[in-house]
Structure 1
């Protein structure tokens, strides 16, 4: 009788320990699920902010592309001075004084003068003689002068600047220049405002911003996909 009672009591104790162990694992599982849920809840706003950041970067880059398209790229595409060559300076002479106006305050303008430098060159690749201008803006501002300085009160400073340019052109008689290969424009440019390097550097930053925004969104989506994949694998193993 004693042994039978002892066996019963022993069996009852094992069942209690088993229930306690099961209850412990159940509580541990609940805590694990709660921590996982809290982690997912905490990650959700961060993922949303990252996606919004990526979309904002992409939108900003598109706007920059639009602005560059109607300014830099349009000027680059419309330019006819696409052929680069070497020009031989034939004549560099100050001909006359040109009037210009400068601001002296609110609604106040005064007149100053600068010397007009005319430069004629011979294009080695074609042999034709043309008038040389500093860039596209100078060619649009004046049909005669090589360089149009910023108008200022001190006309002697502008005169000294133009004379210095003239002396440099006389010393360096062979200069790189840009001309129209179709010869629709008689003018020749010393430099271009919008050349290949300017266009490249203009498009570099919006391209980097576009790539960065796309990479941020891609990484967030990849993280979400891997997280769902891990959950599915965990469910299969159970």
Structure 2
């Protein structure tokens, strides 16, 4: 009976050890992904200063209005604002500028032109209602554009770091408890 109890205990410890190891590996992978994708994007973002933007011009530009340049076949919302004492182009997020620097806002559904047009019109009306709004600018003024919303904020980094840290700590704790239990089991078996 004692041998069966020791065998069952070893199986339980092995399962717990595997669970702890899986948690540690998952958190390490998450940290790697975080470190190679999100952190560089956060560091690359220069729009850190909260400013007050005043709407100067807002226009929905169709592809034919953009001076014959090759542009996507969706309506383009163009927003010109006054921020930090200068005229600047407003972009929805960091990704908007990278996707198409000619558009301040890119609609989500690009397959259906009419739905994209309604989406852009809704955003245009919201901007018309609020002439002044907070935006993010570059404190060094190297960027001539401002952002309506930042994707990569310190709060976002904290959110991304919480669960991997929790899993890493939990996995290490499980492994330590299993090892401690194994040591105590060996001491008890020797007596």
TM-score, scaled relative to structure 2 = 0.84
Indicate if the aligned counterparts of 1:53 and 1:213 stay in contact, CA closer than 8 A: yes
Which structure has the higher relative contact order (CA within 8 Å, separation 6+)? 2
Unaligned 5+ residue runs, structure 2?
Answer: 65-70
CA distance in 2, matches of 1:230, 1:116: 74
Residue 161 in structure 1 maps to residue 119 in structure 2: yes
Residue 120 in structure 1 maps to residue 86 in structure 2: no
From 46, 60, 75, the equivalent of 2:26 is 60
Residue 143 in structure 1 maps to residue 101 in structure 2: yes
Tell which structure's C-alpha radius of gyration is larger.
1
Encode CA deviations 1:174-232: one digit per residue, 9 max, x unaligned.
22211111111111111122222322222222222212111111211232344455567
Residue 221 in structure 1 maps to residue 187 in structure 2: no
CA distance in 2, matches of 1:161, 1:38: 67
| RMSD of aligned Cα (Å) | 2.3
CA distance in 2, matches of 1:219, 1:65: 24
Change (3 A) 1:156 1:44: closer
* 1:71 counterpart SS class: helix
From 49, 53, 61, the equivalent of 2:15 is 49
Indicate if the aligned counterparts of 1:97 and 1:114 stay in contact, CA closer than 8 A: yes
* 2:136 counterpart SS class: strand
Residue 209 in structure 1 maps to residue 167 in structure 2: yes
**Aligned position for 1:97:** 62
Aligned length: 184
From 119, 135, 151, the equivalent of 1:177 is 135
